[in-house]
Structure 1
């Protein structure tokens, strides 16, 4: 099998590493996943806009330390082309308190292939509208996957 056949699978590894770093509130690991360029940006579900690596580090550190979460992907759409992968994902952001209600979020991750590795260039997260969040929550309560 040609080497390029597996190139996009590695982008999923970067996304999984992002989820793990968020769950562990490991800011150094989290920031190691971003492309080393000042044009990077992150629009958080709370509406804050973070531009540049230092702004993203500071903003995510404040958010994750104040309200740690684990992220559960519920529905994943992948769009890939040479050198770029875009993930459009419906996610449940679960607070550390297991009794708390998860926040339902639509998140887009833009990843670029740089020097043999997939790196995050942009994240855009938005709260789900109530109707969509209710539909996903119902599926979660009934143990159905996102594709049922």
Structure 2
């Protein structure tokens, strides 16, 4: 039985469905924990999107994107942790998964950045290829 899950959260609808699956799996045991992981990639943001001007503004933006996921998990009363990583989402999540103690990564099939997906491949595809632990992709 898996006991620790990484939930890749990005605020997308597929990310919310992934959260539902993570909750469903985590409820199977009392010791299960969901590590909600958000990857901030401000260096790759489109030019026409204003970057946060301060640490407080950055944290506010991240919380706004993640509040629906965090609210779902809080309502479910499943144990959780929260981690913010920086950089390319696929690389950061893969490294975090491979170096940590989680037993499974749960990710939505498609996130918020369709343009990057077209050129680089989706985060879920890259996780499947490079992760050393199982990856559950939720549609």
Q: TM-score, normalised by structure 2?
A: 0.27
Q: TM-score, normalised by structure 1?
A: 0.26
- Tell which has more relative contact order, 1 or 2 (C-alpha 8 A, sep 6+): 2
The structure with more radius of gyration: 1
Greater helix share, structure number: 2
